[in-house]
Every structure is written in C-alpha cells, then in structure tokens.
C-alpha cells in the first residue's frame, strides 16, 4: 500500500508543484528539495484511500500485477478534470498552478 500512496503523492507533486527553475544561462536555480516543491506525506489528501481489488490475472507471475505505476498515471488527469469541473477550463500542461488557472480564466 505504501507504494500506491508514494506514487500518488509523487504524481500530485509532478502535476502541481515540482519544478526546476533555470537562470538565463541555463544554470539551475532550484538546488534542493525545499525549493523544488516535492510534496511530503502530510500533503496527501486526507480522504485518499487505496483499495486492492482481487484479480485472477494469468499474465503476471502467480497473478501478480504492477502497483505503483497506477498511482502515477491517474493524478494529473484527475486534477485537470477537477479544475475543469470547478472552473470550466482545461489546463493541458503541467504544472496546474493558481497562476495558470487565473491566466486561463482571464481568457474566457
């Protein structure tokens, strides 16, 4: 279960806050995890729950399936859809920041 929570948290970071900023010469200004914007475990939504569903998968060894990849795949589209449902705009590029939302709203 920890892999699912970690993967989902990482995907939330990719979608909303993680960013490397460069100066005009291409040198990174983002030099540590604090300025990079990586989320911490306390940033996971309080109502987040991972549910394991039984499967009879014949492809994986002993019916095994991947687990952490699923947590990464769904976050960005879910966040983009939530923004659309709330504001009526589609953001099609990461990061989904308040500034990008306001800019898109001004174009409506």
The partner residues of 28 in beta bridges, in order of sequence, read 22
- Report if residue 61 sits inside a domain: no
Is this structure's pTM higher than 0.75?
A: no
**Model confidence over 9-37: pLDDT tens digits?**
899 999 998 989 999 999 999 988 888 98
Question: Residue 92 maps to which CATH number?
Answer: 3.30.365.10
- Report if residue 80 sits inside a domain: yes
Alpha-carbon distance 43 to 9, whole Å?
8
Q: How many domains does the chain have?
A: 1
Alpha-carbon distance 24 to 28, whole Å?
10
- Report if residue 62 sits inside a domain: no
**Model confidence over 42-53: pLDDT tens digits?**
888 889 888 888
Question: pLDDT-derived band of residue 102, with 50, 70 and 90 as boundaries?
Answer: very high
- Report if residue 60 sits inside a domain: no
Question: What is the residue range of 77's domain?
Answer: 2-54+67-106
- Report if residue 42 sits inside a domain: yes
């Amino acid at each position: 279960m920890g892999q699912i929570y970690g993967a989902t948290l990482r995907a939330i970071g990719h979608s909303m806050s993680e960013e490397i900023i460069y100066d005009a010469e291409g040198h990174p200004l983002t030099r540590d995890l604090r300025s990079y914007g990586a989320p911490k475990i306390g940033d996971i939504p309080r109502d987040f729950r991972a549910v394991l569903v039984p499967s009879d998968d014949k492809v994986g060894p002993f019916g095994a399936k991947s687990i952490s990849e699923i947590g990464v795949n769904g976050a960005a589209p879910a966040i983009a859809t939530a923004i659309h449902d709330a504001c009526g705009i589609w953001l099609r590029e990461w990061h989904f920041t308040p500034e990008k939302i306001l800019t898109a709203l001004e174009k409506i």
